[in-house]
Structure 1
Amino acid sequence: MDVYYFDNAASSWPKPPGVAEAMVEAMAAYGANPGRGSHRMAVEASKSMFRTRKKLATLFGIRNPNDIAFALNTTMALNTAILGFVKPGDHVVCTAVEHNSVRRPLEWLKSEKGVRVTYVTLSEDGSLDPMDVKRAMEPNTRLIVANHSSNLLGSVLPIEDIGGIAKAHGAALLVDAAQTAGVLEIDVARMGIDMLAFPGHKALYGPQGTGGLYISPELEVDPIIVGGTGSQSEAIGQPTVRPDRYESGTQNGPGIAGLGAGLDFVLHETPANIHTKEWTLTQRLMEGLLRMGGMRVLGPSVGTQRTGIVSFVTEDIDSAELSFILDQHFRIAVRAGYHCTPLAHRTAGTEATGAVRASVGAFSTTEHVEYFLESMKQILQSYRNKG
């Protein structure tokens, strides 16, 4: 497809060639039900899943791969962590840039289970003072939730500092790594992460319908979906063994095989190198937009740490209209609107306007960025000439 793709924060594209090949092989060669039989195809399907689990453990510094449960996406993983861990009467601290995948489960717990939630405010650019998290802690704080990087602002939160605060107060730390898994280094032990929710279809370069949740062996989290697991079938209750406890029903075997191939790409390239490439492109994109005038780029300023997300608003044209023009006239794919994070838009002061979000990935190039900037110049010049 002849398109300039700047929507990697939603789903990465294109995928490494090995991803589709691994999925086809899984369906053609061993497309049986993993964990549900002892014949050779079922065994090979189970082995494929475990190979992917081991790669994830390597990437995130996890000692036991079985502490990783596969999920359909980050949203499912976050719901499992929040709804399966927080109890009635507990207190939760989270940041004011969280995605609706965090906010909505927490608001449901507030209204239905009497859970109290404190949203810690951030600076307009998405930076967080860890002392504000510390000040929000209460004696019954059970959980801190923080995204590693805002899906609107691109800002990176000090997870290791927050992890230290959680440990000092006897609380658990849940990290939403939707925008950082595969881009920034994540070591769950060093960073004090008790639960890590991550997608397969973004910077891990797997297919949609994949993701997972790491749960520390020191935590007990109730499953939110129960049923057949292929293990302890004679028992009435849900198995206690991991990862079966959190993986009821047939898993996405071909998708997880594809995720394994995406992880091969990430582990070979390394998150550090991928981030360096994205950083260079992001800085060029920000600098070019700011030189156009009448433009506000959200999040950290040029030269400050961020992920490959550049959200912006311009006084010349509505965000949704600009996104439509970029797509229809210039074959540029971006995302406009509220990005499922009204909390972050409130922090940025863009509740009334929304924003256009351009996000780069491992396969973005300097030529793509230059084409994007030239297209923006043409659009803005056209609108300003009309004025």
Structure 2
Amino acid sequence: MTTNTRIIYADNAATTFPKPPEVLSEMLEVYTKKGVSPGRGSYDLSIEAENLVDEVRRQVCTFFNGDDPSRVVFGYNATDALNLIIQGLIEPGRHAVSSCLEHNSVLRPLHYFLQQGVIGLDLVSFDSEGFIDPGDVAKTIRPETRFVIINHGSNVVGTVQPVEQIGDVCAERGVPLILDVTQTAGIVPIDMQKWGVSAIAFTGHKSLYGPTGIGGLVARVGLDVRTTRFGGTGLDSRSLVHSQSYPQRLEAGTINILGVIGLSAGIRYIERQGLRRLYEEKMVLTRRLRDGLSAMEGVKLYCARSLKNHLPLLLCNAEGIDPEQVSTILDGDFGIATRAGLHCAPLVHQELGTSPRGAVRFSFGLFNTPEEIEKILRAMEAISRSQRKG
């Protein structure tokens, strides 16, 4: 338990904290006025709630430059959306391409279908700086490849992949590109149409500064995702066949309208602040931490020689100390919250040589300060020094 009066929160890649007060106040205000079941009743409030949800679909579609707001599908997070996409596209005898940088939200469903003998699977690796070579993707695509699925930004090493070039590779071969934008949405601009991305999966509670429990997918026109969940949609209730029109095709049950309100408020908040400005401010902090840790005896950084095309996060280890112990000391002695371990991305750590114990991750958000970075550096120096003396 920390003894500090104010925690230094450096685990924003897990979820951003705190949320902007404007987002929380708007959630409360709108929910108290329109927090009814959207599109399930013929009374005015239900219709207004449905109109609100449709407006947020348009907002999300514009934010990611999709091509049809009806193909914005709301779920409860990116893992949920990735499962919808993967399970809705998988076909027996087909093949998928992914990478060793992926989160278990991609790896586990793909592994399940591989073990069941349903699909073939190839995973491309990454270079010493954490980047995928588009040429490696091209080499793994076969005539039977159903889709390529990669993350836009790694939650472990922080690299932002060359999606436009990978999109060109996929387009030339007629293979859909699915992008996991969990870590990049709200940090860097995302352009589905320009990059040739067929679908994205996103979450609201990270750098979109919305609440937990809301996320979804955006699918381009031409990519039809098979229905894998069934139930009430508020449409054609006499039929026992689930609606095949979007977005109902991939939605079932009552939408998390409070989450939708918060997602919308979070997007507006970061747009008002300016994505470019926010990104540069966070990267100033990241570069300072990188420079300080690089000069520190007994500390090893991973994939951080260059921070070009990089998220505001760093991965490191203190030599001779278990990463979980480092994270515990940072919390208990210095009031610094970090994430240690494998970060739900075991293959990245296998490639880095940090498996099975993993490493310590620092990740920054809107409310971190230069003073906090200096405190982190002093804490890491103290931990490393104690190990050298011991």
TM range (shorter): over 0.9
Count of residue pairs brought into register by the alignment: 386
For residue 173 of structure 2, what is the amino acid of its counterpart?
Answer: H
Which consecutive residues of structure 2, in runs of 5 or more, have no partner in the other structure?
Answer: none
Task: List per-residue Cα deviations over 1:139-172 (Å, max 9, x = no partner).
Answer: 1111001100111010111111111111111111
Matches of 2:57 and 2:37, distance apart in 1? 17
**Secondary structure, counterpart of 1:296 in structure 2:** strand
Name the counterpart of 2:122.
118
Matches of 1:324 and 1:383, distance apart in 2? 15
Matches of 1:248 and 1:4, distance apart in 2? 39
The Cα shift of 1:256 comes to 1.1
Equivalent of residue 270 in structure 1, options 263, 274, 279: 274
For residue 62 of structure 2, what is the amino acid of its counterpart?
Answer: T
Contact 2:93–2:119 at 8 Å: present in 1 too?
A: yes
**1:270-349 correspondence to structure 2 within 5 Å:** 270-349=274-353
Name the counterpart of 1:134.
138
Alignment RMSD (CA, Å): 1.3
Contact 1:283–1:302 at 8 Å: present in 2 too?
A: no
**Secondary structure, counterpart of 2:227 in structure 1:** coil
Matches of 2:102 and 2:203, distance apart in 1? 16
Matches of 1:120 and 1:303, distance apart in 2? 22
**Secondary structure, counterpart of 2:116 in structure 1:** helix
The Cα shift of 1:36 comes to 0.8
**Secondary structure, counterpart of 2:42 in structure 1:** coil
Matches of 2:338 and 2:106, distance apart in 1? 24
**1:1-387 correspondence to structure 2 within 5 Å:** 2-385=6-389, 387=390
Task: List per-residue Cα deviations over 1:97-149 (Å, max 9, x = no partner).
Answer: 11000000001111225200000111133112111110111111110011001
Per the normalisation by structure 2, the TM-score is 0.96
Query: Which one is further off, 318-327 or 32-41?
Result: 32-41
For residue 355 of structure 2, what is the amino acid of its counterpart?
Answer: E
For residue 350 of structure 1, what is the amino acid of its counterpart?
Answer: T
Contact 2:68–2:220 at 8 Å: present in 1 too?
A: no
For residue 191 of structure 2, what is the amino acid of its counterpart?
Answer: D
**Secondary structure, counterpart of 2:360 in structure 1:** strand
Contact 1:142–1:170 at 8 Å: present in 2 too?
A: no
**Secondary structure, counterpart of 1:164 in structure 2:** helix
Matches of 2:83 and 2:109, distance apart in 1? 6
Matches of 1:253 and 1:18, distance apart in 2? 17
Contact 1:34–1:43 at 8 Å: present in 2 too?
A: yes
**Secondary structure, counterpart of 1:167 in structure 2:** helix
Matches of 1:67 and 1:82, distance apart in 2? 16
Which consecutive residues of structure 1, in runs of 5 or more, have no partner in the other structure?
Answer: none
The Cα shift of 1:362 comes to 1.8
Contact 1:133–1:162 at 8 Å: present in 2 too?
A: yes
Matches of 1:370 and 1:195, distance apart in 2? 40
Matches of 1:377 and 1:116, distance apart in 2? 47
The Cα shift of 1:303 comes to 4.1
Matches of 1:320 and 1:243, distance apart in 2? 42
Per the normalisation by structure 1, the TM-score is 0.97
Contact 2:299–2:384 at 8 Å: present in 1 too?
A: no
The Cα shift of 1:304 comes to 3.0
Contact 1:97–1:347 at 8 Å: present in 2 too?
A: no
Matches of 1:102 and 1:254, distance apart in 2? 27
Over 3 Å off, 4+ runs: none
Query: Which one is further off, 79-88 or 31-40?
Result: 31-40
For residue 137 of structure 2, what is the amino acid of its counterpart?
Answer: V
**Secondary structure, counterpart of 1:233 in structure 2:** coil
**Identical positions, percent:** 38
